[in-house]
Structure 1
């Protein structure tokens, strides 16, 4: 059973971010624009740099994906899982 993530953001694996982008049909540039981050920041996270990202930028990234219908949820064992539902807003 999945539960909503708590205040502490559950880190996800680099492949999960790439899968989330694919599910939302977003390029790295699209996600960068939606999250107000640089493309280099997106690439860094996709290469394992989640822990080095500030909480503000982590939240911006997660919020941008959520607006596109992708959400990371914490499983009972504390791992991150990806869920997808209809896009909340049209793709920019």
Structure 2
């Protein structure tokens, strides 16, 4: 598809760092005969990081839905806190 979007058919367990656990699992499942997975794609973690870095408000929206700190993103895991490092700048305040 592109450098920032991968179809499930392009993903397997080796792409875990690129698409995260859910994406890698969906890619693996889509490659198993007899397992029906709807056609789909994953946005890479790098693309997601770039979007959030460009507009921290997006990170805040994700945090509001997930309960994670605003700088954590979809690839973070409570079991792997090192993957969620604090930002180098503060989030925007007020309106």
What's the TM-score, normalizing by structure 2? 0.29
Relative contact order, higher structure (CA 8 A, sep 6+): 1
Larger radius of gyration, structure 1 or 2?
Answer: 2
- Which structure has the highest strand share of the two? 1
What's the TM-score, normalizing by structure 1? 0.30
